[in-house]
Structure 1
Amino acid sequence: MARPNPHYGIGTFRRRLRVSAAAGEVAVELEDCNHGFRLRLWHDGERVTTVEVEPLRIPFNTCAEAVRPLQRAVGHRLDEDEATLRSRLVPGDNCTHMHDMAILAVAHAAAHRGEERTTRLYDMAVDDERDGITRARVACDGAPVHDWHIATPRSHAITAPAELAGKPVMRGFHAWASQAFDGMPREAAVALQRAYFVAQARRHSFEPVAAHPGISDGMPQGACYSYNTGAVERALRSEGTVRDFTHTPEHLLKFLP
């Protein structure tokens, strides 16, 4: 069983996500305390033709295998909607983060026009819970987009700003967020929700990693690729992969050893 993280309560979970689109290809990079990935997607203007992922820092030895189910994105038409792509990929069969990056890459492939490269950079920061409240915020290209106070861990519902009070940020999030936001603000909200979800890992320490194989977590089937039957029995935690970027956000996306 995981032990409480003795440093929880004084830190900040940080995640950085960069999307770069050019003619025929999109690159997505992601790094946070537990993960580091680079994804590249190629298309012919109509369909996805190739998806490649570099899993640079992963929680389990089995995570890299999730590149295989991600190949279901190949052949997806860029003019089809996101729901169609999600049904093709099946989120529970995939690494959550590779899946999210692929969804994002396809959206930018569909939206990109012309030959000029476009880049978008998201920075998410989720403070450790203090007095039952977590502050979560996201900026796009350095400009603030969302800043939420969330009741944690009681309801995982927003308490501020007032116009969003009561909205859930765990189960039920996508239903309201897809109606409340559009375009870049919606993309930023989805990125922030995922950061808030992953930030809960800061509560726990899994040291020594050899004593905490994936199967000991008791996660349900379909939580992600490494927690599925056939993988979870082989899932061993990676040694020395957890980082704390509380005071060093400038290190994100440098993928330092």
Structure 2
Amino acid sequence: MLWRSQMADVPFEGIYRRQVDLDAPDAQTVVGWLEDESHHFGITLVHDGTHIRELRMAAPRYPWTTCAEAVRPLQALVGKPLVARASQLGTLADVRLQCTHVFDLASLMVAHAHAGRGHRRYHGTVEPLAAVRPDAPEGWQRATLHRDGVVVLQWDLHDDRIMAPAVHAGRTIYHGFREWTESLAPEEAEHALVLRRVAFVSNGRRITIEHLDSAAELGQAAVCHSFQPAQRERATPMPDSRRRYDTTPEEMLAQMRVQP
């Protein structure tokens, strides 16, 4: 696929970061924000303790002109039950019609509401393993997930495969991943899902889209809202939509106190 082949000869440098903030200001509301180099979205979820009653979305920054429309397919979740696992939300709506990143955020928010949590912050990073271990094999990466400032999961990766720790070694972050995480305890599974997305999306920094006329030119399958046949021809790159936070993570999620 063109999307994957574009990355083959582009080195990964620096520290990629993705942050998610989840906050419940009251018993019926969860406010969530997500930001990385190419995406910045916010959602307000209103629920009655058992079901989703309202979803509002803000889109300060996104790569394709059609991404901001993702609030419409997101409404398919209104009336659906709160679920304990973020991964379960995909059984309640067609994920391919959604913005992947907005749906990721909504999934974490629904699980947050179901658990009755107050506040949670995820901060995921990906960097060359050689930056932290000089003897590291060429091309390996270190993916780390902090939850509320504490490391809860860390993988060494090579070609999308977990190489360490030994308990996870050999697993790919693509095929069969969800089947594996469904066998884990809910919190452990959520950590794995969040870090898997951090690792996957970090590859986007090695892909240039600014020169394209539309998303259709990437040759990507219809895996999300902007790549659906109805959108891909009119989905054009947003100018100056990328931000790098390699050394300035404190600048991320500047709007997290705002309710969309």
What TM bracket, shorter-length normalisation?
0.7 to 0.9
Structure 2 equivalent of residue 211 of structure 1: 212
TM-score normalised per structure 1 = 0.87
CA distance in 1: counterparts of 2:240 and 2:88, whole angstroms = 37
After superposition, the Cα gap between the structure-2 partners of 1:53 and 1:145, relative to the gap in structure 1 and judged at 3 Å, is: same
Per the alignment, in what secondary structure is the counterpart of residue 56 of structure 1? strand
CA distance in 1: counterparts of 2:186 and 2:84, whole angstroms = 17
Alignment of 1:32-47 (within 5 A): 32-47=36-51
Q: Percent identity?
A: 33
Structure 1 equivalent of residue 23 of structure 2: 20
CA distance in 1: counterparts of 2:191 and 2:121, whole angstroms = 10
Aligned length: 245
Structure 1 equivalent of residue 114 of structure 2: 110
Structure 2 equivalent of residue 125 of structure 1: 125
**Unmatched tracts of structure 1, length 5 or more:** none
Structure 1 equivalent of residue 230 of structure 2: 230
Equivalent pair of 1:137/1:147 in contact (CA under 8 Å): yes
CA distance in 2: counterparts of 1:20 and 1:32, whole angstroms = 18
Give per-residue Cα distances to partners, 1:183-237, cap 9 Å, x unaligned. Answer: 333222111100111001111233xx2535211110012x111001010010000
Equivalent pair of 1:123/1:138 in contact (CA under 8 Å): yes
After superposition, the Cα gap between the structure-2 partners of 1:189 and 1:81, relative to the gap in structure 1 and judged at 3 Å, is: closer
Per the alignment, in what secondary structure is the counterpart of residue 11 of structure 1? coil
RMSD over equivalenced CA pairs, Å: 2.5
Per the alignment, in what secondary structure is the counterpart of residue 187 of structure 1? helix
After superposition, the Cα gap between the structure-2 partners of 1:194 and 1:79, relative to the gap in structure 1 and judged at 3 Å, is: closer
CA distance in 2: counterparts of 1:11 and 1:79, whole angstroms = 36
Per the alignment, in what secondary structure is the counterpart of residue 250 of structure 1? helix
After superposition, the Cα gap between the structure-2 partners of 1:248 and 1:83, relative to the gap in structure 1 and judged at 3 Å, is: closer
Equivalent pair of 1:76/1:85 in contact (CA under 8 Å): no
Equivalent pair of 1:62/1:226 in contact (CA under 8 Å): yes
Question: Runs of at least 4 residues of structure 1 off by over 6 A?
Answer: 1-7
Alignment of 1:177-216 (within 5 A): 177-179=181-183, 181-206=184-209, 209-216=210-217
Give per-residue Cα distances to partners, 1:148-199, cap 9 Å, x unaligned. Answer: 00112xxx211111111101112221111222x3233322211110011100
Deviation, 1:8, is: 4.2
Per the alignment, in what secondary structure is the counterpart of residue 193 of structure 2? helix
CA distance in 2: counterparts of 1:129 and 1:83, whole angstroms = 29
Deviation, 1:96, is: 0.3
Equivalent pair of 1:4/1:204 in contact (CA under 8 Å): yes
Structure 2 equivalent of residue 136 of structure 1: 143
- Whether 1:99 and 2:86 are equivalent positions in the alignment is no
TM-score normalised per structure 2 = 0.86
Deviation, 1:244, is: 1.1
**Unmatched tracts of structure 2, length 5 or more:** 131-137, 256-260
CA distance in 1: counterparts of 2:128 and 2:72, whole angstroms = 34
After superposition, the Cα gap between the structure-2 partners of 1:77 and 1:83, relative to the gap in structure 1 and judged at 3 Å, is: same
Equivalent pair of 2:86/2:108 in contact (CA under 8 Å): no
CA distance in 1: counterparts of 2:100 and 2:16, whole angstroms = 18
